């Protein structure tokens, strides 16, 4: 029987890939981003944000985030799971408005990791930040192993347990794997460590059909059942990619979510108001799935680093967590 031996949760914000001396380019993105009203946010932002924008603060927080990811790589190297299931969102990378599944499992044999094409300037405004982020990545596309048989097993188990899951065998060639999944290879896996991966994509971002928080918990429990139903011995890790609150940081929400995950408090997580799970904050849904899937594994919050980047309170509440046997 397979078992889950490791859980991981990690933010994947551009601020992890853009050196802190260039975080100011994200301020321009935020001012011109069509998805929120920067001026209104700045007008109601709380006091004290000026100190958060000090270059020394940015450098210290960037270093903390990278130390947290190093700790997570060390855990992967120590535990060495045989396979990883990565739960992340898709932001118009594989799925567009012609067909937006709530849940989808990729069952292809290979996972392509490459630089992403430029985002849509009509939505994101200034794209200087995106050019800077992509400059941090390897120019050479690379392929990594999928796990098609295990993925098909997950799909069948979901189907039998009433999860209407989409299935995808092909990644869009011009995109490759979406950003939630390339983060694993670029930041969370030790150098030279190659492991089969099953991407599980959630529609966290786009109305009208994101899953409710309580449904995310149910699907996480069914994911754990599916892993345990695999007939061969297999040591599996599950990874949540994304979150926590962004593009506007909500420290109180982030801390409530982390505390509820540590306590396996399904009621609190299931009752999170969906009005708060919008834009990037919606990726908390991925953490809820993984928090349910890990079962009784103990949770360690490696670090929580609210990385503000503007006087409007924009930025990312960076969360990094591990689950493993105590």
Indicate the Cα dihedral angle 134, 137, 138, 139, nearest 10°. 0
The mean pLDDT value for 38-47 works out to: 85
Indicate the pTM of the whole model.
0.96
Please state, in angstroms and rounded to a whole number, the distance separating the CA atoms of residues 218 and 190. 31
So what's the pLDDT on residue 125?
62
Q: Is the pLDDT of residue 25 over 70?
A: yes
Domain with residue 86: its CATH number is 3.40.830.10
Using one digit for the tens of pLDDT, what is the confidence trace for 234-259? 999 999 999 999 999 999 999 999 99
Burial class (CB in 10 A: 0-12, 13-18, 19+), 256: middle
Domain that holds residue 150: 2-324
The string of pLDDT tens digits covering residues 114-166 is 988 766 655 666 678 778 888 778 778 999 999 999 999 999 999 999 999 99
Phi, psi dihedral angles at 180 (to 5 degrees):
-65, -25
> Could you give the dihedral angle defined by the CA atoms of residues 76, 78, 81 and 85, in that order, rounded to the nearest 10 degrees?
-20
User: Closest Cα partner for 204 from 33, 104, 88?
Assistant: 88
CA-based nearest residue to 258, from 272, 247, 248, 238: 272
- Helix extents (H) in 80-139: 121-124, 128-135
Q: What is the pLDDT of residues 253-282, one digit of tens each?
A: 999 999 999 999 999 999 999 999 999 999
N residues, the chain: 326
Backbone angles phi, psi at 89, to 5 degrees: -95, 160
Tell me if 18 sits within 8 A of 26, measured CB to CB.
Answer: yes
- Looking at residue 19, what is its pLDDT? 94
Nearest to 83 by CA among 146, 157, 8, 1: 146
Q: Based on the structure, what is the number of domains in the chain?
A: 1
- At residue 109, the pLDDT reads 98
Sign of CA pseudo-dihedral 153, 159, 165, 168: positive
The two tokens of residue 102 are 């709530």
Q: Residue 289 — very low, low, confident or very high, per pLDDT cuts 50/70/90? A: very high
Q: Print the SS3 string covering 193-244.
A: CCCCEEEEEECCCCCCCCCCHHHHHHHHHHHHHHHHHCCCCEEEEEEEECCC
pLDDT per residue as tens digits for the range 76-100? 999 999 999 999 999 999 999 999 9
Q: DSSP letter at 186?
A: I
């Amino acid at each position: 029987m397979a078992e889950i031996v490791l859980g991981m949760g990690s933010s994947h914000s551009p601020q992890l890939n853009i050196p802190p001396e260039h975080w100011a380019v994200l301020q321009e993105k935020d001012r011109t981003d069509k998805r929120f009203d920067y001026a209104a946010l700045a007008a109601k932002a709380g006091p004290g944000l000026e100190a958060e924008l000090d270059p020394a603060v940015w450098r210290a927080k960037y270093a903390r985030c990278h130390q947290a990811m190093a700790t997570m790589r060390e855990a992967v190297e120590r535990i060495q799971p045989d396979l990883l299931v990565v739960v992340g969102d898709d932001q118009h990378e594989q799925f567009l408005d012609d067909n937006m599944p709530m849940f989808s499992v990729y069952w292809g044999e290979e996972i392509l990791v490459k630089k992403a094409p430029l985002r849509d300037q009509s939505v994101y405004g200034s794209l200087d930040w995106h050019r800077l982020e992509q400059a941090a990545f390897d120019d050479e596309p690379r392929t990594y192993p999928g796990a098609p048989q295990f993925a098909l097993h997950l799909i069948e188990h979901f189907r039998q347990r009433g999860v209407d899951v989409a299935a995808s065998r092909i990644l869009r060639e011009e995109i490759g794997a979406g950003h939630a999944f390339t983060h694993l290879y670029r930041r969370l896996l030790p150098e030279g460590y190659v492991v089969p991966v099953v991407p599980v994509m959630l529609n966290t971002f786009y109305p009208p059909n994101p899953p409710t928080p309580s449904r995310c918990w149910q699907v996480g429990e069914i994911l754990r059942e599916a892993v345990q139903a695999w007939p061969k011995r297999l040591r599996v890790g599950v990874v949540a990619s994304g979150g926590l609150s962004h593009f506007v940081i909500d420290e109180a929400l982030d801390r409530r979510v982390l505390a509820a995950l540590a306590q396996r408090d399904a009621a609190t997580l299931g009752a999170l108001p969906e009005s708060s799970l919008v834009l990037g904050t919606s990726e908390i849904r991925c953490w809820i799935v993984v928090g349910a899937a890990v079962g009784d594994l103990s949770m360690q919050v490696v670090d929580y680093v609210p990385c503000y980047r503007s006087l409007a309170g924009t930025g990312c509440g960076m969360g990094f967590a591990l689950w493993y046997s105590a």
